[in-house]
Amino acid sequence: MIELFSENTPNGKKISIMLEEIGYDYKVTKIDISNDEQFKPEFKKISPFSKIPVIIDHKNNKTIFESGAILIYLGELSGKFYDKDNRTDINQWLMAQMGYIGPMLGQHHQFHHYNPGKSEFGEERYFKISKRIYSEVDEVLSKTKFLAGEEYTIADIATFPWFARHEWHDIGIQNFKNLSRWYEEISKRDGVKKGYAFMNKDEDVPKINY
């Protein structure tokens, strides 16, 4: 049994989607970050930086923090979505999500969605970066079906939940045909639908409005 300590965020959804995709039994323990539960001493014992998500693999007595590391662990454990022959490309895109796509879109959320009007510099900076990310990913997907090649991998699983907040971004995902194609294809997967709704069974993956 895998225990997932999480909140209903893009980083949390990465792991629930992966667990659904590989068909593992898991239970969710909610960490209410709006009430600072991530800073409680008992959670800090399993998450040194007080961040979600974290998993405990009770069968193998393993605790893993950091969403990218969790995806690698589950990929290796299950033998799915982490092809041994393509790991360099998969790892490149996973690191790109962890170090660039997620953090930059996350800052765009903070300035544009949660705190509009508080910092013109912040809003303009992260809007421009986010728009560039859309363009860059769209260009890559004009050459390959998925981020790391022709197969769906943990790199796609990691990146998808961030673009699922496209309505927050006000960039217009529908203007990027290759990104839209990728997004819609992943949206149709049963594991993605179930994993996306891991904390709210009525939550649907946001659609693209053309």
Q: For 164-177, how does the pLDDT look when each residue is reduced to its tens digit (9 = 90+)?
A: 999 999 999 999 99
- Sorted by sequence, the CB contacts under 8 Å of residue 126 that are 6+ apart come out as 104, 107, 108, 110, 111, 112
84-189 CATH fold: Glutathione S-transferase Yfyf (Class Pi); Chain A, domain 2 (1.20.1050)
Distances (CA, A) of 207 to 114, 186, 189: 21, 11, 14
The phi-psi region of residue 117 (left if phi > 0; otherwise alpha if psi is between -120 and 50; otherwise beta) is: left
- Which residues of the chain are under the pLDDT cut of 50? none
Q: What is the pLDDT of residue 163?
A: 98
Please tell me the distance from the alpha carbon of residue 103 to that of residue 94, in angstroms, as a whole number: 13
Q: What is the pLDDT of residue 210?
A: 87
Six token digits for residue 113: 């969605």
Q: What is the pLDDT of residue 4?
A: 98
Of all helices (H) and strands (E), which one includes residue 57? strand 54-57
Six token digits for residue 52: 């979600």
CA dihedral 137, 143, 148, 153 (to 10 degrees): 90
Find out whether 158 and 71 touch, Cβ atoms under 8 Å: yes
Q: What is the pLDDT of residue 94?
A: 98
Q: What phi, psi does 118 have (nearest 5°)?
A: -90, -25
Q: What is the pLDDT of residue 146?
A: 98
2-78 CATH fold: Glutaredoxin (3.40.30)
Q: Where are the domains of the chain?
A: 2-78, 84-189
Six token digits for residue 158: 């990691």
Please tell me the distance from the alpha carbon of residue 184 to that of residue 182, in angstroms, as a whole number: 6
- Other C-beta atoms closer than 10 Å to the C-beta of 90 total 27
Please tell me the distance from the alpha carbon of residue 173 to that of residue 180, in angstroms, as a whole number: 6
Six token digits for residue 181: 């194609």
